[in-house]
């Protein structure tokens, strides 16, 4: 919508995990290096964790793009279900056994083992990547461990990468998964961006999208984005996309703390309205009166009522006195 106004070739802060926009912070460099090392050395199990929106999926997409052609990879998003269902999905993606064939677990394992041996003869390693692996139940994780038994005297026949939120680390620390935990030889956690990295991240994405440098964020504006996002790339994208949209409406290309704060306030207000819906539509709510106005109405209402009572009482006394005087005169 605003790309032509800013002279951009595409949206710089899309929420899709596009590896073209991957910014290599120190934490991201380390994570990608660990993943590549684990695959190249055939370490078996590899674990990558990180907060929601920290860039785990973007790193995976970048990893898959950079793999040697000889390496076969199966990428499973949000794995749920039994081990047998997951194994059927893997073999279906490898074109070994169609998912429609309802084979037993033992037969599926035999097919998988035969495939691995054939790939080993061709020097074509296999990598299984489980994104959102915190959703795997304990029983399935334990059965996945059994796949690492497929090996030669020197190498594992399959590399398994478990990627997930911090809950994955907590799950793998459970006593019943001790054997699996011992087989995870490479572990890495993806941390948030620092304040300086956040500023460089914003400039990096703008440059990739075709910016010629005309879009600027003041240091104070970047400070505000850092406080809002806590260094989480997805939240930085949410903030910056809304800031660029506001700039397009107001015809601005430089963003200071005041404008950034305004946009972030609107984002937070929208989040609050989403979490707690009002009891009635805003247009149906009566406007609140200021306190001073309420006091004036209260004084006018109750003060007038008191004057009316006193007036009636005095009038009553006058009538009674008049009646008494008339009776005495008679």
Where b means 16+ CB within 10 Å and e means fewer, 258-269 reads ebbbebbeebee
**Over the stretch 177-187, which tens digit does the pLDDT of each residue have?**
999 999 998 99
Coil, strand, or helix at residue 8?
coil
**Over the stretch 262-285, which tens digit does the pLDDT of each residue have?**
999 999 886 665 554 443 333 333
pLDDT higher at 295 or 16: 16
Q: 52: closest CA among 123, 109, 132, 116?
A: 132
pTM above 0.75, yes or no: yes
**Over the stretch 22-42, which tens digit does the pLDDT of each residue have?**
999 999 999 999 999 999 888
Q: 234: closest CA among 76, 63, 51, 77?
A: 51
Domain at 26-190, CATH homologous superfamily:
P-loop containing nucleotide triphosphate hydrolases (3.40.50.300)
- The full 3-state SS of 133-176, as one line of letters, equals HHHCCHHHHHHHHHHCCCECCCCECEEEEEEECHHHHHHHCCHH
* CATH architecture group of domain 3-14+194-273: Orthogonal Bundle (1.10)
Confidence (pLDDT) at 309: 52
Q: 40: closest CA among 81, 16, 3, 71?
A: 71
**Over the stretch 142-157, which tens digit does the pLDDT of each residue have?**
999 888 888 877 788 8
Length of the chain counted residue by residue: 330
Rounded Cα gap, residues 251 and 144, in angstroms? 55
pLDDT bucket at 171, cuts 50 / 70 / 90: very high
Exposed, middle or buried by CB within 10 Å (0-12, 13-18, 19+), for 233?
buried
Q: Strand 216-217 vs strand 254-255: parallel, antiparallel, or unpaired?
A: parallel
Q: Scan for tokens 């001073």, then name that residue.
A: 292
Where do the domains of the chain lie? 3-14+194-273, 26-190
* Secondary element (H or E) of residue 77: strand 72-77
Give yes or no for residue 287 having a pLDDT over 50: no
pLDDT bucket at 315, cuts 50 / 70 / 90: low
pLDDT bucket at 68, cuts 50 / 70 / 90: confident
66 phi and psi angles, rounded to 5 deg: -95, 0
Do the domains 26-190 and 3-14+194-273 match in fold?
no
């Amino acid at each position: 919508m605003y790309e032509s106004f800013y002279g951009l070739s595409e949206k710089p802060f899309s929420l899709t995990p596009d590896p073209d926009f991957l910014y290599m912070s120190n934490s991201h460099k380390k994570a990608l290096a660990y993943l590549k090392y684990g695959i190249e050395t055939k370490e078996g199990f590899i674990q990558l964790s990180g907060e929601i929106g920290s860039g785990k999926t973007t790193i995976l997409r970048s990893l898959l793009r950079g793999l040697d052609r000889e390496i076969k990879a199966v990428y499973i998003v949000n794995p749920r279900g039994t081990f047998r269902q997951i194994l059927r999905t893997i073999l279906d993606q490898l074109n070994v056994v169609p998912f429609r064939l309802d084979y037993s677990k033992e037969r599926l394992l035999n097919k998988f083992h035969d495939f691995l041996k054939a790939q080993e003869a061709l020097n074509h390693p296999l990598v299984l990547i489980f994104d959102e692996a915190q959703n795997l139940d304990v029983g399935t994780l334990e059965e996945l461990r059994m796949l690492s038994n497929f090996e030669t005297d020197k190498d594992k026949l399959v590399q398994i990468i478990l990627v997930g939120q911090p809950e994955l680390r907590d799950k793998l620390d459970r006593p019943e998964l001790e054997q699996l935990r011992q087989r995870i030889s490479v572990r890495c956690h993806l941390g948030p961006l620092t304040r300086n990295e956040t500023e460089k991240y914003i400039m990096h994405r703008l440059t990739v999208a075709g910016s010629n440098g005309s879009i600027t964020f003041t240091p104070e504006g970047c400070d505000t984005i850092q406080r809002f996002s806590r260094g989480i790339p997805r939240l930085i994208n949410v903030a910056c996309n809304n800031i660029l949209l506001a700039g397009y409406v107001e015809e601005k290309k430089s963003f200071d703390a005041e404008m950034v704060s305004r946009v972030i306030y609107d984002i937070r207000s929208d989040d609050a309205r989403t979490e707690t819906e009002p009891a009635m539509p805003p247009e149906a709510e009566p406007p609140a009166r200021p306190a001073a106005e309420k006091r004036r109405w209260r004084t006018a209402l109750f003060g007038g009522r008191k004057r009316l009572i006193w007036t009636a009482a005095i009038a009553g006394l006058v009538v009674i006195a008049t009646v008494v005087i008339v009776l005495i005169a008679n």
